[in-house]
């Protein structure tokens, strides 16, 4: 089992200062190596650091070391699928508030099951890379704002998963539920 990790280049630090929310760390979890590479390259081009895992079990093995700002999960994977991985992440106090985006060809059952475990966003495959980047940026920004709010308020949930979640259905588009439209 090998976790693929990439580092951003030196010029990216300058780029991230110009584009707010462009810097962060993403854990990409998908059993398809080509999809992992596609997601990784597109996020790296936006100045993000990317770590990859081949399935949910590998994700859970590395998430505490990696300390990502966002996790993207496929649903259908060997050993541990994306929905059970998301449920375990939500049940762990250390990862409970990490933004989770499901990137998969989602059925209605998977969307409903994802809602039940607190997934933040669904992006249907095939997807437009620009849409994936937009979603990841928004999740990173929302998490950063949540941390700032938590520090000034002295507590509370980071990222409020119930009131400001977005859910995308079909065709690589997202629709908002209780938040802003994407």
Mean residue pLDDT of the chain comes to 78
Q: pTM, whole model, 2 decimals?
A: 0.73
Between the ranges 2-6, 42-46, 141-145, where is the mean pLDDT highest? Answer: 42-46
DSSP 24: -
Higher pLDDT, 56 or 149: 56
SS3 category, 150: helix
Domains of the chain listed by start with CATH number: 4-176 (3.40.50.2300)
């Amino acid at each position: 089992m090998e976790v693929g990790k990439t580092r951003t280049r030196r010029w990216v630090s300058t780029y991230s200062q110009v584009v707010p929310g462009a810097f962060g760390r993403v854990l990409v979890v998908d059993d398809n190596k080509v999809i992992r590479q596609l997601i990784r390259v597109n996020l790296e081009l936006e100045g993000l650091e990317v770590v990859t895992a081949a399935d949910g079990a590998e994700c859970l093995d590395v998430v505490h070391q990696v300390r990502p700002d966002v996790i993207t999960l496929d649903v259908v994977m060997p050993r541990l699928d994306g929905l059970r991985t998301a449920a375990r992440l939500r049940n762990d106090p250390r990862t409970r508030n990490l933004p989770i985006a499901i990137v998969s060809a989602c059925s209605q059952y998977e969307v409903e099951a994802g809602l039940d475990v607190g997934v933040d966003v669904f992006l249907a495959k095939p997807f437009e890379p620009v849409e994936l980047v937009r979603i990841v940026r928004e999740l990173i920004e929302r998490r950063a704002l949540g941390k700032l709010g938590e520090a000034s308020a002295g507590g509370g949930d980071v990222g409020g998963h119930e009131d400001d979640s977005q859910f995308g259905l079909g065709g690589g588009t997202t629709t908002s539920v209780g938040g802003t439209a994407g």
